[in-house]
Structure 1
Amino acid sequence: MPLVGLSPALAPLLGSWLLVHFSWQAIFATLFAITVVLILPIFWLKPTTKARNNSQDGLTFTDLLRSKTYRGNVLIYAACSASFFAWLTGSPFILSEMGYSPAVIGLSYVPQTIAFLIGGYGCRAALQKWQGKQLLPWLLVLFAVSVIATWAAGFISHVSLVEILIPFCVMAIANGAIYPIVVAQALRPFPHATGRAAALQNTLQLGLCFLASLVVSWLISISTPLLTTTSVMLSTVVLVALGYMMQRCEEVGCQNHGNAEVAHSESH
């Protein structure tokens, strides 16, 4: 999971290098070449036969969405990702307005990528000592505070790149730690249907990321790029809070139900 964070740094660096040495069409030609390279190994894959799992066949996407634990954790995952994608959409406009070249814009993604990796591997170490449900509330608070700080930086007159990147890198650390926790918690109720649950989870995540990017690109001509981008990021904090309350509500409900059953059995 932490290595996924390398793409936001490597892709802009490669893109800026292509822009310096070639035209913008070279970017799409490179994407096509990478796609072909990734498709070719499919022809050498050997078909495998697995025992049919009837419990997975009977589980629909609607059944998955009935679980508040699943919905809540997926919403947290998608909202945190959407905040990141909102920045990826708006940052080229923000930094271009500040006078930075494509090469510098590409390099600006390196610190946040390092921060994401720190969060991911730091979470892995922390999970050796604490449970994910103990860490998650603190990480969500860190995410919310960092996003609010990034949004507040938009009101600073002549704000510098460093002043924007510091709170954003804190958000990247929080995201890197949040992702593995909420993904594991979302899939835990469906051990026999992890493939289907993961597919729906990724679809919802990418859908919300697309929506956040769409809103940023739509509103960026109306207001300043920085304020537009950070305002969309700020809206994801509300979704994160909603997701946490959703999954927490089911967790508390299950505990209360279990305590009631114990009390009932003891009374008899």
Structure 2
Amino acid sequence: MSTTTPTTTAPGPSRTADVPVRAVSVLAALAAALVPAFVLAPGPVAGSLSGGGYGGRRELEDRLSASFVDYWAAGERSFPPGLRGVVDYWSRYHLVKAVVAAVLLAVLVALGLLLRKAYLRAGGLTAGRRTALASAGAAVTALALFSLAMVMANVQGTVAPFSSLLSMLPLHAPHGVPAGTLEEIRRQLAAYPDGGQSPPPVEVMVSDFGRYHAVLAVAATAVALCAAAISAVSWRRFAAAAASDRRARRVLRSSGLLWALMAAAVAVIAVANTATTADPAPALLAFFEGGW
């Protein structure tokens, strides 16, 4: 009677061996928690830091409108207490949003890098799983770009909160800025700076509006340069990649195109905001005339 020795087969590699499931899950959960935090946290946190918040947008608009009219009537450079409180609150509000958006951006970048690495090593996965990885990577990239835009916009609001608040002035509502005040502001801005000495509030508004656009010009220039550098590196690696490594070449080509387009788009924003920084009064006048 013959006996056969049982053979043991070594387990094959797991189809998810190259996908760091635990790390991806943790980062995805963290990103999912940060999105509502970006929307819900700024108001209460800014209110606690500035000694009081606002019940809603209408209350903020009413307080802003009334305090802005008082500021214009006083004719001083310094903000009255009411307007100072609104401006301080708005600066803290944007600071909280900028911090949350920056953390979300860092999480999404880390998640995107993990997904990209997993996709490049996904030879053992089915076509469906590779497609799912590619789709997840594209979604994370889109969210990361949106988070980057939110960081830039909220840094802008943090540094120049007064100009950011101007967009919330109810210019044409019954509870808004009186028509006489608006007409006087328009007249002063139309004559600025050639109409003689402008009222201090006009000088403050023009200066702050220039700062508001300067912040975005600097941020956009930095992002455009970084995007151009990433695009150049991607194209260099694409040229050096083996022709047989089609997956890597596809990823590198897509990355090069994406970041080149990103650099061009953000460069346009940088140029436009640089021009407004150099001469902010016409853009501010356009706003008060309803064209901004």
> TM-score, normalising length from structure 1?
0.28
Higher RCO, Cα 8 Å, sep 6+: 1
Q: Which structure: greater helix fraction?
A: 1
> Which structure has the greater CA radius of gyration?
2
> TM-score, normalising length from structure 2?
0.27
